[in-house]
């Protein structure tokens, strides 16, 4: 079991006061020194005010911020969780991902998905209706670009171009797919390296246009089914990153309660096929963040 620290997204809005003079590089070093294996960033380049007023959040640009984190650390894997593929041309994503892979020494994981916030797609001039089809082709285009080959496809096919440098990771950075639906699972089975299913009540699943996921038994069934389909194709088990069902207590900043609730469940999560636990503390300042990270590490990572 490995542990990924999601940068507290609520800190972005109040960054100048939250950081108490610290830099993002210092934030990443605290995470690495505590023993975490990964450090991740979400993405919302231009969210609408209505969504923000009902629980939404701002985010740093993931590639820019993760570059700061990678440069300040030596072993921490930096991850997008998630980058919405449809917000940009796939060749820009391929270039950014290859660059971060090279400059971090192969420590980048590209977590991606179709996205669900229609208003943000519209603000960016992106195609919400075809976002699933375009993600499928984008993944093919990324992989071709990382091999130094041309992609021939209906939306993004182009000839006479090449992008250097190629990634240092053979085949390119690992691709992890976010989402619970059948299409997300298909991508994990056929083309991706990892999966990021999301705990979701029926109400939340309706908002994110996904499937409900409310208990470990269901999670285990899903993971087993995906890995069986991968095995049928001659592929090994997928990495699976999951935000624990017990994470609700983190919203109030109570890391001790979260640790007490999730610690006895780590083995069941591992038995279900989860290989990464993702944790996003709701720390109100850098000082609180340092305290929270050290507490989580002592209770969960160093158990």
Report the C-alpha gap between 40 and 6 in whole angstroms.
Answer: 5
Calpha distance 262→205 (Å, rounded): 23
For position 50, what pLDDT does the model report? 97
Q: Which residue has the tokens 């908002």?
A: 207
Q: What confidence score (pLDDT) does residue 180 get?
A: 94
pLDDT at 95: 98
The answer to whether 301 and 4 are in contact (CB under 8 A) is no
- pLDDT by residue, tens only, the chain of 303 residues: 999 999 999 999 999 999 999 999 999 999 999 999 999 999 999 999 999 999 999 999 999 999 999 999 999 999 999 999 999 999 999 999 999 999 999 999 999 999 999 999 999 999 999 999 999 999 999 999 999 999 999 999 999 999 999 999 999 999 999 999 999 999 999 999 999 999 987 766 666 666 789 999 999 999 999 999 999 999 999 999 999 999 998 988 889 999 999 999 999 999 999 999 999 999 999 999 999 999 999 999 986
pLDDT of amino acid 206: 65
Angle at 184 between CA 259 and CA 7, to 5 degrees: 35
Q: Residue 217's pLDDT is what?
A: 96
**How many helices, marked H, and strands, marked E, lie in the chain?**
14, 9
If phi over 0 gives left and psi between -120 and 50 gives alpha, with beta otherwise, what is residue 60?
beta
pTM: 0.95
With beta carbons less than 8 A apart as the criterion, state whether 169 and 101 touch.
yes
Structure confidence at residue 77 (pLDDT): 98
Residue 212: the pLDDT is: 86
């Amino acid at each position: 079991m490995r542990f990924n620290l999601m940068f507290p997204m609520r800190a972005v809005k109040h960054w100048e006061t939250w950081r108490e003079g610290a830099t993002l590089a210092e934030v990443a070093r605290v995470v690495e020194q505590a023993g975490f294996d990964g450090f991740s960033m979400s993405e919302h380049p231009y969210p609408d005010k209505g969504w923000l007023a009902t629980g939404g959040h701002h985010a740093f640009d993931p590639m820019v911020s993760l570059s700061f984190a990678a440069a300040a650390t030596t072993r921490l894997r930096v991850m997008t969780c998630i980058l919405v593929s449809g917000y940009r041309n796939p060749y820009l994503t391929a270039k950014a991902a290859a660059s971060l892979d090279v400059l971090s020494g192969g420590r980048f994981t590209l977590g991606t998905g179709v996205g669900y916030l229609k208003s943000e797609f519209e603000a960016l001039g992106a195609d919400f209706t075809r976002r699933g089809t375009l993600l499928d082709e984008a993944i093919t285009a990324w992989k071709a670009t990382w091999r130094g080959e041309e992609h021939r496809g209906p939306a993004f096919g182009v000839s006479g171009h090449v992008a250097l440098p190629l990634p240092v990771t053979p085949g390119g950075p690992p691709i992890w797919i976010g989402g619970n639906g059948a299409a997300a699972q298909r991508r994990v089975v056929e083309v991706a390296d990892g999966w990021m299913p999301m705990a979701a009540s029926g109400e939340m699943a309706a908002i994110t246009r996904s499937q409900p996921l409310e208990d470990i038994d269901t999670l285990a069934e899903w993971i087993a089914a995906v890995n069986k389909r991968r095995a049928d194709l001659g592929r090994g088990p997928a990495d699976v990153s999951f935000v624990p069902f017990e994470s609700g207590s983190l919203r109030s900043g109570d890391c001790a309660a979260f640790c007490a609730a999730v610690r006895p469940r780590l083995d069941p999560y591992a038995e279900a096929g989860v290989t990464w636990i993702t944790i996003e503390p709701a720390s109100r300042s850098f000082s609180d963040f340092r305290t929270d990270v050290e507490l989580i590490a002592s209770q969960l990572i160093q158990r």
